[in-house]
Amino acid sequence: MRRLFWLGLGAALGALIVRRLTRAAQALTPQSVAASLADAMRELGSGIRDFGQDVRAAMSDREVELREALGIEDAVTPEDGIRNRGRTNY
């Protein structure tokens, strides 16, 4: 009975090890590596895009704060659609 138990345990462990090694080998194929790299690059691009949007929003908010603090009006003239930022054109 003991020998049968150890034989069964060895067969089960052997099958488990073979399955895990097969998964690891498939994960390291060129196609799998390329797919994971493509996913990582997509996530990186999305993160950079989100960061850029956050920076632009913060810059805009800060510009509004500075203009209000300095008393500079930021208006768009309806005639030509050009922003008037307190500058004069000579």
pLDDT in tens, 26-63: 888 999 889 999 999 999 999 999 999 999 999 999 99
Give pLDDT, residue 73.
77
pLDDT in tens, 57-85: 999 999 999 999 998 876 544 555 555 55
Residue 90's pLDDT band (cuts 50, 70, 90): very low
Q: Considering Cα of 65, then 69, then 72, then 77, what sign does the dihedral take?
A: positive
Give pLDDT, residue 74.
62
Give pLDDT, residue 80.
52
CA dihedral 46, 47, 52, 54 (to 10 degrees): 110
